[in-house]
Amino acid sequence: MGPSRGVNCYNGYFVNGFKFHTLDYDFHKTTMNSRVSVLGSCHNDYERNYYGMLTEILELDYLGDVGNKVTLFKCDWFDINGGVRVHRQLGLVELNHKKKLQTNDVFILAQQALQVYYTCFQRRLEIDLIGGRL
């Protein structure tokens, strides 16, 4: 059996010890809980992390047993091929927020999400620095 036709949408969700909000809900807040990262890896065991902004939180109910639910995060992802640079010695990631990843693969499981913080880099306004897990 697959998911039911109904979908629950939320503007906030607690997972992995983090409180996430959608970008629209976060817009007028002093905190930023809509910035996400997910660990990625290729077949050659080379890891690349993806960075983005949470736009929707969706909960799918599956038919059958009660409690079969899956929560998905829909995100706008930054292009990691030219839009992201890692500074491992500083513990920072530099990204160009004008370079978005062009993909139809925009969903992750909520359990995969890590929360990150973006701050503007003083000399170049289109660049953000990310603190947290690399």
Q: Domains of the chain: which residue ranges?
A: 3-82+102-118
Task: Determine the residue type at 100.
Answer: K
Q: Is the pTM of this model over 0.85?
A: no
pLDDT for residue 45: 41
pLDDT for residue 125: 46
Q: Does domain 3-82+102-118 have CATH number 3.30.70?
A: no
Q: CA 78 to CA 118: how far, in whole Å?
A: 12
User: Which residue is it, tokens 């701050």?
Assistant: 119
pLDDT for residue 1: 65
Q: CA 61 to CA 124: how far, in whole Å?
A: 44
pLDDT for residue 33: 93
- In order along its 134 residues, the chain shows pLDDT tens digits of 666 777 999 999 999 999 999 999 988 888 889 999 998 776 444 467 889 999 999 999 887 766 688 999 999 998 888 777 777 777 778 888 788 888 888 999 999 999 988 777 665 544 555 555 44
What is the per-residue burial (b if ≥16 Cβ within 10 Å, else e) of 66-89?
A: eeeeebbbebebbbbeebbebeee
